[in-house]
Structure 1
Amino acid sequence: MTDTDRSARSVSRRKVLAATGAVGALSLAGCTENTGNGDNERVIVTGSSTVFPISDTLAEAFMDENDGVNVTTDSTGTGGGFSNNFCPGNSDINGASRRIQDEEEQDCSEEGVEPVEFQIGADALTVAVHNDSPVDCLSYDELTQIWSQNGAETWADVNSEWPDEQIERFGPATTSGTFDWFNENVIGDAGSHVEQYENTENDNELIQGISTTQNAIGYFGYAYYRENEDDLKAVEIKESEDGECTEPSLDAASDGSYPLARPLFIYASAESLERDPVYDFVEFYIEQSSTDTITDVGYVPANEDQVESNLETLESTVN
């Protein structure tokens, strides 16, 4: 496909989006594997476990519409995806629950990979506890006490009205963008993230651990909480001791009232975008990012300005 063909097709699709609004919602999919015929052209997506449900759902929908293309998705963690797959040139797209870091950009550059950023929605990062926990709301300061190295050891250390029981922590691995975002935006300069905790890149394992451990606490993307909200309790968050407790929700993340709201991204390799299957999938991804598909997965959709900006970035990258 020529650059002229791509540009004309993109303009045509954007007119359709403007005229018809959101595209119909898609069903949540499992991990995508090889489907279609034996002549598939492959698109490889790695990265954030938070972004994974979006990428996986859209990969299934894209392959349903494009019989000759195989899109594979793998939940590797944001940092793990950049270091092990994307920057070495082993994947075309990397999902990210925080912006790419300077050292990651440098690593990519040294490998001849140019990352192209697209913000594709937002998340209400969720802190959760066991259903029987007395903890209903936490401030940033209390979160810092719980999650800092050499911080609180028992719940009573944080609040004397809470049980004098060991805090059982479940969280993302250090290769996770969720870990990086939480460490930077919640703990910040107050210390460093606790090292001794049950960590995994599998958010469903975090859910399992918290829901079956009496004095547990953990954090992860909102979509995973919404799928399991009967099994554990989401904690309301306030930025200061005298602030207002706000529960995680898509509306609160969208209007900015939820303190742990954060943007979500995909990064595509500029070289990979020269290949039609990758370009077409990223274009499809961007167009779907403002629809009810993203809401149904459990995240805040991109707004129309973001979609327009993303499409312009996509077109300018290959033209």
Structure 2
Amino acid sequence: MTSKKIRPLLLLFLSALLVLTACGGRNDGGEGNSTLSGNIEIDGSSTVYPITEAVAEEFMKIYPEVNVTVGVSGTGGGFKRFVVGEIDINDASRPIKEEEIEKAKQNGIEFIELPVAYDGITVVVNKENDWVDSLTIEELKKIWSPDSKVTKWSDIRPGWPEQKINLYGPGTDSGTFEYFTEAVNGKARESRFDYTASEDDNVLVQGVSQDKYALGYFGFAYYLENMDRLKAVKIDSGTGPVEPTMDTIREGTYKPLSRPLFIYVNKKSLERPEVKEFVNFYMKNAGKLASEVGYVPMAEDVYNENLSKLK
């Protein structure tokens, strides 16, 4: 074959290869294009953080000119910024409160609430703890109530070690703190405060994993990620001890510590194409990515409803 005949065939082959590469590079089902750019700022719950961070990482692979930052100041800390328009999206492990809605209105902030996954607040002890297998809700209340007299493990059940119990839990800006205190103590934010507190669940993981006599609570994903260092405590709400698992959280049998997780999106931010594309991408991939980082996905029709809200 002459060089004059080879050249057109080579050009045709290269053109076809470019088309195939361009088509194969998109696997997100998104409607945007790689020319998107800008900054998206997210803050809030450390519990929701692993899902949002996973979504952000995948999104930025497709849109490298968009910078998505995800903070962990806690649900309440995030809402403080969200209701004054400082951030585009707030991760939340509880629904927005009436007073937060009112502050948003005062500042002209309109928003959309989007549920993204289910979580089970997990009570954990150190891996070397060989005396605790389960706790009742009443025993949890005995430990965590504002007027608690529990200082040693033996104060919970006779026969348990006469050793000081060292408690770890979320700080007061955490949605996990509010949900747990309401579920266990009967009123949100009612709790003892002589414990090691942090809005960063990794700090709590570190504390419990290094202390044989510790007990703490935080989101299920952080337990799954550290099963080699922690032991989950089964919870008995009156029908027998139930272990937190994907199935018990999904079915609602792990009660009363199963709960939905949300993101809240500023409507004005959605006018920016990079934010709109990000939130659409989030809803199309939340189920898969939530499972990958240790949460229970919502039913598919919930994500479809969320997409309808965005339209």
TM-score by length of 1: 0.83
* Deviation, structure 1 residue 90: 0.9
1:175 match: secondary structure:
coil
CA distance in 1, matches of 2:253, 2:181: 20
1:103 aligns to what SS in structure 2?
helix
Distance in 2, matches of 1:304 and 1:142, equals: 37
Gap change, CA 1:308 and 1:40, over 3 Å in 2? closer
Other-structure match for 2:243: 247
Tell me whether 1:105 sits opposite 2:101 in the alignment: yes
Conserved 8 A contact 1:123-1:264: yes
Q: Does the 8 Å contact 1:148/1:191 carry over to 2?
A: no
**What 5-or-longer segments of structure 2 have no aligned partner?**
1-26, 29-33
Counterpart amino acid of residue 198 in structure 2:
T
Deviation at 1:147, TM superposition (A): 0.8
Gaps of 5+ in 1: 1-22, 25-35
Name the CA distance, whole Å, in 2 between partners of 1:79 and 1:115.
Answer: 16
Q: Do the aligned partners of 1:62 and 1:281 also contact (CA within 8 Å) in 2? A: yes
Evaluate the alpha carbon distance shift between residue 190 and residue 103 of structure 1 in structure 2; reply closer, same or farther with a 3 A threshold.
Answer: closer
Aligned partners of 2:45 and 2:74 also within 8 Å: yes
**What is the match of residue 6 of structure 2?**
none
Given that 2:182 and 2:190 are in contact with CA atoms closer than 8 Å, whether structure 1 keeps it comes out as: no
CA distance in 1, matches of 2:166, 2:76: 25
Does residue 176 of the first structure (1) align with residue 191 of the second (2)?
no
Is 1:89 the counterpart of 2:85? The answer is yes
Deviation at 1:157, TM superposition (A): 1.5
What is the match of residue 75 of structure 1? 72
Match of 1:14 in 2: none
CA RMSD after TM alignment: 1.8
Which residue pairs with 2:296 in the alignment? Answer: 300
Distance 2:245 2:188 in 1: 27
Matches within 5 A, 1:121-132: 121-132=117-128
* Structure number, greater radius of gyration: 2
Summarize the alignment of residues 164-313 of structure 1 with structure 2, pairs less than 5 Å apart.
Answer: 164-189=162-187, 192-240=190-238, 243-259=239-255, 260-291=257-288, 293-313=289-309
Quote how far apart the aligned CAs of 1:213 are.
1.2
Question: Given the two structures, how large is their TM-score scaled by the length of structure 2?
Answer: 0.85
**Alpha carbons 2:171, 2:197 under 8 Å: kept:** yes
Residue 235 of structure 1 aligns with an amino acid whose one-letter code is V
Give the alignment partner of residue 60 of structure 1, picking from 57, 62, 77: 57
Query: Percent of pairs identical after alignment?
Result: 43
State the Cα distance separating 1:115 from its structure 2 match: 2.3
Q: Distance in 1 between matches of 2:39 and 2:118?
A: 27
Deviations 1:25-62 (A, max 9, x none): xxxxxxxxxxx99x940111111000001111110101
Q: Tell me by how many angstroms 1:162 deviates.
A: 1.2
Q: Alpha-carbon deviation of 1:190?
A: 10
Number of aligned residue pairs: give it: 277
Deviation beyond 2 Å, 4+ runs, structure 1: 189-192
How far did residue 170 of structure 1 move?
0.3
Aligned positions of 1:35-50 closer than 5 A: 40-50=37-47
Residue identity in the other structure for 1:227: E
115, 122, 134: which one pairs with 1:119?
115
Which residue of structure 2 aligns with residue 32 of structure 1?
none
How far is 1:189 from its partner? Answer: 4.4
Measured after TM superposition, the shift of residue 290 of structure 1 is 2.2
- 1:246 alignment partner AA: V
Per-residue deviation, residues 157-199 of structure 1 (Å, max 9, x unmatched) = 2111211222210000000000011011121149921111100
In structure 2, relative to structure 1, the CA distance for the partners of 1:81 and 1:191 (3 Å cut) is closer
Amino acid at match of 2:265: A
